Copies of this chain bind each other. A is one copy, B any other.
Amino acid sequence: MSTRIDNDKIFKALANATRRDLLDCLKDQPQTTGQLCEAFPVLDRCTVMQHLKVLEDSDLIIIRREGRERWNHLNPMPIKHIHDRWIGAYAAHAVDLIGRMQMDMGD
């Protein structure tokens, strides 16, 4: 179960726009650290590694090593727990409907 300290870590990790952008890059498929560095040419490798460390420590990414490569995988479970904490199963359908209505209105 998540503790308050774990949750603090997750939200502090997500409170940084670069780290959110890194997670966006991992949404569709895992990436090596080299690929992520290429995707963020304005950041030096050391900065990218520091952000990935924060994401790993808060369990938002999972690292798998293959030979010399470090593959970064998005871990969707903390995100799912955020959703389930404040949007119950009953409310999820209504919230989904409101979301689609807002999209139709261009919000």
Contact = CB atoms under 8 A, between A and B. Distances in A.
A74 to B, nearest CB: 6
Interface residues of A, number: 35
Interface stretch (A33-41, A44-52, A65-73, A94-102): A94-102
A43 interface: no
Counting from the closest, the 5 A-B pairs by CB-CB distance are: A11-B15, A83-B83, A11-B14, A4-B17, A76-B95
Given A4-B20, A23-B86, A82-B82, 11 more contacts: A4-B17, A8-B15, A8-B17, A15-B15, A24-B85, A27-B88, A76-B86, A79-B82, A80-B83, A80-B95, A80-B96
Interface of A: 1, 4, 7-8, 11-12, 14-17, 20, 23-24, 27-28, 74, 76-77, 79-88, 91, 95-96, 98-99, 102, 107
